[in-house]
Structure 1
């Protein structure tokens, strides 16, 4: 362990120095030996690291969305070259290059955090063992060993023995209760972060194996964190819980302000924009104007949610402009009314009682019509033949012959005497 720590001293020394600097600030407020001073120092370390990783997080979002869009094309390539793996790989790399997508970008934040996580783990392990490391001298080492968070030392683990926990001036029950609560919160935050990503910020029109993989990770990652968490010191659990909460809040902000096209989050976002336009008559905010500008640029490639938004603007007598603003337009109103007029209207389904009531009435109406037709026929038969003109009888007989099916119109050829 000492050999590994010495090899990675280039990262453990900066991490320990940052913790010491934050400890000086919080120690002046809560006391040098307070668990809050050391705990908040670790939290501040997480915040500082995550702020530095924001550019990588933006790349992760873009890469994830590009991967979602490319899934149908990737699946087509796999089916087309399923017997030629080399050609399949070449086509995949060509597709990534054309679209500017890097599959590893989605893992960049985790990979970038790994060295800091490793360094903090070794710093806390050295504190538990009573060894100086990096910028932590003997005085700071003694102060850190006395620091407790809710009765659990920063360097204690769930799997520690009674003797080791006692040497840190704590009880095994307190350590296991605190670590168990932190592990549950850590796993729950990870699950909720992945779940809101899958349920709100995913294009529902794209059904690919990638979606199933993300759904599996939603359940696998919390289990991995729970299993690994029992071997983490309390200080590392504080670090990991803080970074999970940060990720969850960051994900919520992205979902609300920059949702994935075609997702439920985009529908909710555009409804908020439409409500704001209804109230103020304009698109307020640079982010919202940027979203409207992107929708206008798509033209006929808009999804159903975006078409719904454009139609909603048309009902208000407004049309989205290329710069993301809206302007009054009579043509937009006509288009909105035309789309409503041409919309197919489904017949309203009647209740069972109405159908039963309408049944006898309809049957009675049909019976009345048949009776009227029968009486009309009988009257025509009973009418005297002399009352009809002779010329009319001749024309009627001719018209009756023409009405027969299979006969030609006009004067008919006389039949041969032998066929009479």
Structure 2
């Protein structure tokens, strides 16, 4: 485990510096505004500030995720056609599906990227807070003095940021700290609920009807129910400071997604119809007319009329037929 531990320490070192640096900057700001530097409020708000900085930095990735997710929705009819055509040949189906993804610039795993990229930050913050609380370990820009303040900080004067529902002592003899349990439970439920409603918002408002079936829909349904349960079960072991980070991040995601769905919905979705209704109402209020753009209806093509040969008499056919212009063969009139 020594070599593995050294490897992960090497990977985590830049994250320790980045996270502790942002955390300390926010902490200095709130201290300058009059909050107690050793108090839980200043450190809790610093964690919220850290979350906002990280999520703002991930906005380009979120935009890419939205585009890829929209493409996944719009190509579902083509995916179904491929399934009908190559359903008997799994290898060919996989090849054609990947070709379709490549041609349309779609990444089926883009919806997981923000979560995957946040996981190292999540666990780094976990270790930063946990080690600061246990032995005041200095990490990154977090000095021993700041680590002591961070590890000992308490919300509302009695709830340590480094404590968790599981570690509050509830399973020890005599019970645990009820205030820690209640706050931790509240944040776990908030984290679970925001994860669920964010995914549900996407499926109910920004997915066309024909995209609600098939592999992509199954993937979305899996995320809808599995992720909240996973975070809920794991959340009881996370410190309150880490739960605060994840709940704030989920609230950001939900608000960001709501804004995108409301203002730039995918065609053929309930959100798209709702935006069209709002645009009509807004136009009517200002006395303007919104033209509805409809897909052009192609007229059925008529078969080309075949030109019939000119009728000739039996005598004309015998003598070689008539020439254009009314003259007969041989120039006789």
**What interval of TM-score do these two structures reach, taking the shorter chain for normalisation?**
0.7 to 0.9
Stretch of structure 1 that moved more, 212-221 or 45-54: 212-221
Stretch of structure 1 that moved more, 255-264 or 56-65: 255-264
Q: Give the CA RMSD over aligned residues.
A: 2.4
What TM-score, normalized by structure 2, do the two folds share? 0.79
Corresponding residue number in structure 2 for 1:342:
none
* 2:158 is equivalent to residue 154 of structure 1: no
Structure 2 counterparts to residues 347-358 of structure 1, below 5 A: none
* 2:16 is equivalent to residue 9 of structure 1: no
Give CA deviations for 1:356-375 in whole Å, capped at 9, x if unaligned: xxxxxxxxxxxxxxxxxxxx
Q: 2:41 aligns with which of 36, 40, 43?
A: 36
Corresponding residue number in structure 2 for 1:100:
105
Distance 2:115 2:277 in 1: 34
Which of the two has higher C-alpha Rg? 1
Distance 2:168 2:205 in 1: 44
Distance 1:46 1:212 in 2: 30
Displacement, 1:161?
Answer: 5.7
Name whichever structure is richer in helix by fraction.
1
Corresponding residue number in structure 1 for 2:282:
276
Give CA deviations for 1:179-224 in whole Å, capped at 9, x if unaligned: 1111011111111112222222221244422324323422222111
Distance 2:212 2:25 in 1: 49
Give CA deviations for 1:275-334 in whole Å, capped at 9, x if unaligned: 111122347xxxxx9xx8xx74x7338xxxxxxxxxxxxxxxxxxxxxxxxxxxxxxxxx
* Mapped contact 2:168–2:180 kept (Cα < 8 A): no
Corresponding residue number in structure 2 for 1:418:
none
Structure 2 counterparts to residues 6-405 of structure 1, below 5 A: 6-28=10-32, 29-130=34-135, 131-150=137-156, 151-160=158-167, 162=169, 172-209=177-214, 210-282=216-288, 296=293, 299-300=295-296
CA 7–279 in structure 1, closer or farther in 2 if over 3 Å, else same = closer
Say which structure, 1 or 2, has more relative contact order (CA 8 Å, 6+ apart). Answer: 2
Displacement, 1:5?
Answer: 3.5
| Stretches of structure 1 lacking an aligned partner (at least 5 in a row) | 166-170, 284-288, 302-420
Distance 2:261 2:170 in 1: 48
